Structure 1
Amino acid sequence: MTRAGRVLLWGLVLLVIVGLGIFFFVVPQRVEAAMNGVLQPPPYAASDRAKVLHKSIEVADLHADPLLWGRDLVARGTRGQVDIPRLSEGNVALQVFSVVSKSPHNLNIERNDDRSDDITLLAIAQHWPPRTWFSLKERALYQAARLHDMAARSQGKFVIVKSKGDLARFLERRKTERGIVAGLLALEGAQVLEGDPANVDVMFDAGYRMMSAAHFFDTEMGGSAHGVDKGGLTDKGRDMIRRMEAKKMILDIAHASPAQIDDVLAMATRPVVVSHTGVKGTCDNRRNLSDDQLRAIAAKGGLIGIGFWETAICGTDAAAIAKAQSYAAGVIGVDHLALGSDFDGAVATPFDATGLVQITDALLAQGFSDADIGKAMGGNQIRFMLENLPD
């Protein structure tokens, strides 16, 4: 090889090394920063009355996706919307951590198939183990293990709850340790079962206590509101629900097709949740729930987690969140309201987890009583978990 050839070869090697370095150490952070924006940076203003009230209540959120992005949630982050320190500052007692295992290219709320997946490259770039690159079940197991490791390293500031007893003990501790946070593991879409309802047991043993049949595409268990066929539950999906109910896992029907919602409510013997959504009464699109769906879910004893992003609420501030809460309360009553932020779910939100006091303030402006605000901000969610988690 000539000297010029050697120079060219080493130049190409250097370019490959630099390119790999950018792929593994720069791209994931840039992608997260771009996809999980905060429309207003902290600190967040609120009325004195709202600040006092917010400190006195137990806040709980039914849906956030920070595990997708590879950050250590024990440390306070400089990007994204959620981590344990920011949850603590926002007075969050209970946060549901949902795991996204697959996401189609060109994601939209109208029609997606299951033939593509943006998570594979993200998993490789974030150094997930090779077993996760092409197995959705392994991705779920890996993310559960990561959250358990974070809890173990948190020096007691963060605990994972899996049962009524776990949550009751945590709440007793929190009476004197107000800054501690509890987490509950959830699965966004039953594609992690890889077509076998028996894998419900595997997910339960890994610590998951909530799951939906579908996310943004139809699965072997049921149809998505954003899928191709948008069908109801399949026979496998019915088997999945029976297994979940036997384990006292909570069924989430966020993203479910209307046909799936009807099928679920017809067969479910336990209350269900819609972990993150909007309502058509304030924001009419395929993503959101009709009044009839709200009533049917409430009649089963369910909860409606109102989201924080624009497609859910047709707005970009806490006032729009409170408006959706107020509308839902008018249809089904305050006892079925909840928060479903979708923090770190590839959406922009008005604030990060430290700004939840702004919703308390906006609910006051809507005329909610202090007691009703306590219910909507977390009291309902905690009551629901104490009633429906495994013993």
Structure 2
Amino acid sequence: MIRKLVFALLILIIAAACGLLLFGPGYTERSMNIVDGKPLLKVSDEAAALHKTLTIVDLHSDSLMWDRDITKQAARGQMDVPRMKTGNVALQIFSSVTKTPRGQNYDSNSDKTDNITPLVMAQLQPLRTWSSLLERSLYHAQKLTQASAASKGELTVITAAPQIAKLISERGTRNWPMGAMMSVEGLHNLEGKRTNLQRLYDGGVRMAGLTHFFDNELAGSMHGFKKGGLTPFGKQIIADMEAKGIIVDIAHCSHQCVAEVIAIAKRPIVSSHGGVQATCSENRNLTDAEIKGVAATGGVIGVGYWEGAVCNTSPAAIAKAIKHVRDLVGIEYAALGSDYDGAVTVRFDTSKLVQVTQALMDAGFSEQDIRAVMGLNALRVLSAGIIPQSGRAS
């Protein structure tokens, strides 16, 4: 009898483990990446027609974190290649998330815990990714390369400026190809080693946020304990990034970090995803002084679509934040940064990006301004920013 009970218990444990592996990652994503189903704008014929002619760039999504094939349309999440095509996306920045704190919040987080490790294990990622943040990013880059190979020419991984020009010239003449570029969300994945930046570069990374939800070896996070500025290591890495052609992303940086990056930047910087405090006073959003600072470098500010960025999920709230950037520093510094699949709730997925076009039209934006916001501003910064400046890195 005892032997039978032990055997039954083992069967139950194995079944539970199999169920966790089969359904756990998908359930987790469904519960975290939500389209809220609230009313959408009625899209006019004029907006629909204009949207089809736009060159759209999104500066931030976290889709590579999840266990699904981005070349296939999924029943969960907010972005994949088929939905990008429907939404007329020309170039998507895919970010690598390698570590997030337990109890994650906007105000104060420790670096002592990690939500991503259990997800990595449950998704049966390669063993090398279980204990290395660097390997997690390199694995995400590998996933993107494999997705490109499987896309039959629909998705091209971008690592050099001429590839961007080629991509744009081919759109409309060859099945509307799309580009993808790698970024990372927090350079704690350097694991404290300057030489690892070259490994990220060789893996295809062309943009990098300095911090994420906790302070790290480079700088203070807006959501960390100390919220300090740049460390000497952080300053060295910024110099190396600018020399190699890796764009510096200040999203999630503390206010002190943002000010210090702006002060030393020799190339355009970006805030890839977030909002502005003038329209949404969350601490993670940019002040007017910070908006002016980013603009002074020639960079762009990617406006997000979730409540923490714009205090709403409505397309009108997105347009309101973009309008503030335009009115403060000029239209050429505003861009899109959805944060799709980044554990956010949004009003629409990437297939319905025409909602942003309609909202901008409703807010009185001109066709020229809409083209700039939806992608041309970001293209300017990306095309220039990923060109290496030889001789400065060592």
TM-score tier (shorter) = over 0.9
Q: Is residue 269 of structure 2 the alignment partner of residue 272 of structure 1?
A: yes
In 2, the alpha carbon distance for the partners of 1:41 and 1:247 equals 44
1:19 corresponds to which residue? 16
Residues 38-73 of structure 1 deviation map (CA, whole Å, 9 limit, x = unaligned): 012899841111100000110110000001112100
2:374 corresponds to which residue? 377
In 1, the alpha carbon distance for the partners of 2:321 and 2:40 equals 24
Judge conservation of contact 2:40–2:355 (CA < 8 Å) in 1.
Answer: no
Q: TM-score, normalised by structure 1?
A: 0.97
Judge conservation of contact 2:40–2:347 (CA < 8 Å) in 1.
Answer: no
In 2, the alpha carbon distance for the partners of 1:69 and 1:100 equals 10
2:391 corresponds to which residue? none
In 1, the alpha carbon distance for the partners of 2:256 and 2:232 equals 14
Q: CA RMSD in A?
A: 1.3
1:318–1:43 CA distance, 2 compared to 1 (3 A): closer
Judge conservation of contact 2:194–2:237 (CA < 8 Å) in 1.
Answer: yes
Greater Cα shift, 176-185 or 246-255: 176-185
In 1, the alpha carbon distance for the partners of 2:157 and 2:387 equals 14
1:200–1:296 CA distance, 2 compared to 1 (3 A): same
The 5 A counterparts of 1:55-134 are 55-134=52-131
Unaligned runs of 5+ in 2: 389-394
In 2, the alpha carbon distance for the partners of 1:344 and 1:267 equals 32
Residues 350-391 of structure 1 deviation map (CA, whole Å, 9 limit, x = unaligned): 100011101100000110001100000111111222222226
The 5 A counterparts of 1:10-49 are 10-40=7-37, 45-49=42-46
1:80–1:44 CA distance, 2 compared to 1 (3 A): farther
In 2, the alpha carbon distance for the partners of 1:96 and 1:375 equals 17
The residue type paired with residue 345 of structure 2 is A
Judge conservation of contact 2:26–2:67 (CA < 8 Å) in 1.
Answer: no
User: Given the alignment, which residue of 189, 192, 208 partners 2:189?
Assistant: 192
In 1, the alpha carbon distance for the partners of 2:201 and 2:151 equals 23
Per the TM alignment, residue 6 of structure 1 is displaced from its structure 2 partner at its CA by: 2.3
In 2, the alpha carbon distance for the partners of 1:296 and 1:77 equals 39
Kindly tell me the number of residue pairs found equivalent between the two proteins.
388
The residue type paired with residue 125 of structure 2 is W
The 5 A counterparts of 1:348-363 are 348-363=345-360
In 2, the alpha carbon distance for the partners of 1:329 and 1:87 equals 26
Judge conservation of contact 1:42–1:355 (CA < 8 Å) in 2.
Answer: no
1:132–1:44 CA distance, 2 compared to 1 (3 A): farther
* Percent of matched pairs sharing the same residue: 43
2:392 corresponds to which residue? none
Residues 167-194 of structure 1 deviation map (CA, whole Å, 9 limit, x = unaligned): 1111111131353211000000001100
1:340–1:148 CA distance, 2 compared to 1 (3 A): same
In 1, the alpha carbon distance for the partners of 2:329 and 2:194 equals 33
Residues 88-128 of structure 1 deviation map (CA, whole Å, 9 limit, x = unaligned): 10000000000100000000000001000000000000011
User: Given the alignment, which residue of 163, 180, 183 partners 1:183?
Assistant: 180
The residue type paired with residue 147 of structure 1 is L
The 5 A counterparts of 1:223-234 are 223-234=220-231
The 5 A counterparts of 1:230-379 are 230-379=227-376
In 2, the alpha carbon distance for the partners of 1:326 and 1:43 equals 20
Aligned-partner SS, 2:35: coil
Aligned-partner SS, 1:281: coil
In 1, the alpha carbon distance for the partners of 2:317 and 2:306 equals 10
Aligned-partner SS, 1:275: strand
User: Given the alignment, which residue of 47, 50, 64 partners 1:50?
Assistant: 47
Q: Segments of 4+ in structure 1 off by > 6 A?
A: 41-44
Judge conservation of contact 1:102–1:118 (CA < 8 Å) in 2.
Answer: yes
Q: TM-score, normalised by structure 2?
A: 0.96
Judge conservation of contact 2:56–2:89 (CA < 8 Å) in 1.
Answer: yes
In 2, the alpha carbon distance for the partners of 1:177 and 1:315 equals 38
Unaligned runs of 5+ in 1: none
User: Given the alignment, which residue of 159, 167, 173 partners 1:170?
Assistant: 167
Per the TM alignment, residue 198 of structure 1 is displaced from its structure 2 partner at its CA by: 2.0
Residues 8-47 of structure 1 deviation map (CA, whole Å, 9 limit, x = unaligned): 1221111111111121111110110010000128998411
Judge conservation of contact 2:154–2:175 (CA < 8 Å) in 1.
Answer: no
The residue type paired with residue 209 of structure 1 is R
The residue type paired with residue 99 of structure 1 is S
In 1, the alpha carbon distance for the partners of 2:161 and 2:172 equals 17
The residue type paired with residue 347 of structure 2 is P
Greater Cα shift, 254-263 or 34-43: 34-43
The residue type paired with residue 70 of structure 1 is D
Judge conservation of contact 1:197–1:237 (CA < 8 Å) in 2.
Answer: no
Residues 229-284 of structure 1 deviation map (CA, whole Å, 9 limit, x = unaligned): 11111011011111111101100000000111111111110000000011011001
Judge conservation of contact 1:214–1:223 (CA < 8 Å) in 2.
Answer: yes
Aligned-partner SS, 2:341: coil
Aligned-partner SS, 1:56: coil
In 1, the alpha carbon distance for the partners of 2:39 and 2:152 equals 26
